[in-house]
Amino acid sequence: MKLIKRADVYSPRHMGICDILIEGNKIAKIAPRIDGYDGIEEAEILDMEGRRLVPGYIDLHEHITGGGGENGPASRVPEAQAGQLLGNGVTTAVGLLGTDGVTRSLENLLAKARGLCEEGVTCYMLTGAYGYPAPVLTGSVERDILLIDRIIGVKTSMSDHRSSALTGEELIRLAVQARRGGMLAGCAGFVTIHVGSGKGKLDPLFYAAKHSDVPVSKFLPTHIGRTKELLEEGIRWIGMGGTVDMTAGLGEKKLEETADKILRVLEADPEAEHMTLSSDGFGSMPRFNEQMECIGLTYASPSSLHRQLQTLVLGRGVKLETALRFLTANPARVLGLTGIKGTIAEGADADFAVYDDGMNLVHVFAGGRKAVWNGERLMKGTFEE
């Protein structure tokens, strides 16, 4: 049992100074003041001294088994470690595959997702990869989602020279399988779509919305800020009731450029309800020339999520409760976990991040446990130094 005292709580809505009682991995009570626990041996009392306390971040796009490989075997990216995620405020992650759906297998992805759960990160995964038909574990996307507990949706790609040139009809068939599997399993059953900078942009997605009965909420196009044209198509998708996913910037220049794109989205969606922010963590970030030859390669980090938040709030004046929606309440809705993840509320999971005055991460709680305390990572991967 833990009693957090005097926290300036954002749920992400600003609630002001509150006390929070944690029992096990859940929030048992929130009130302006909770007394009566002094001297109780089982109760650990932690004074936040007015620091801001926010929900733990949800990263919908993590290559937990590593991405890469576009420039040969030596370009494969290392796997994620629990301490790397938790140390950057990420308490819930969705693992997925990228270009390589062969050596980065779904079997490996499932084992890694389960391992991260054992190490303190709430981790789900998507079946599928860049290719179509989607690689699966049990014979179909529907069976994977229904029969395997950590699988909550499917990953595919379009408008990219590495994709399988997915058509609108193929996207519909994939989405129907994901939706039906999700309905039967009682989970989200959604489709994450890697969108490249190809000529088709969001054409297959608009086709699927027009020619199928699958709700637009079951499609999540990602990397929507890749080009100016793609961003405007994403805003059109928002106008249809859909949600888009923006990839956080890597490096100061990209952080600023991405902030500009997020502000453009906020012009069309001032309530900040139709965009999520993810890191593409441990996914490769190759550079290609006009002949589509790989001429450079780096990889993304989960640290970009918090840095992007700082850029928006401290650099661009976006309200914290607005910017937080992109990596708390909105991704929780995509995952079908509203009220459980991405919020500070009674009955929700006790996943928090705590900031100092400079909006740096000082404490992180995952499932009610101290994952980071005074900047020191206490919860790490089994073989993490």
- Residues that are catalytic: 280
Residue pair 38/45 in contact (Cβ under 8 Å)? The answer is yes
Residue pair 255/277 in contact (Cβ under 8 Å)? The answer is no
What is the rounded CA–CA span in Å between residue 290 and residue 293? 7
Q: Which residue has the tokens 């009955």?
A: 347
Q: How far is the first Cα of the chain from the last one, in angstroms, to the nearest whole number? A: 28
What is the rounded CA–CA span in Å between residue 230 and residue 89? 29
- Interaxial angle between packed helices 228-239 and 252-268, expressed in degrees from 0 to 180 and rounded to the nearest 10: 30
Token pair for residue 149? 């507990």
DSSP 315: I
| Residue 377 amino acid letter | R
What is the rounded CA–CA span in Å between residue 116 and residue 123? 6
Bridge partners, residue 247, by sequence:
278
Residue pair 328/59 in contact (Cβ under 8 Å)? The answer is no
Residue pair 101/113 in contact (Cβ under 8 Å)? The answer is no
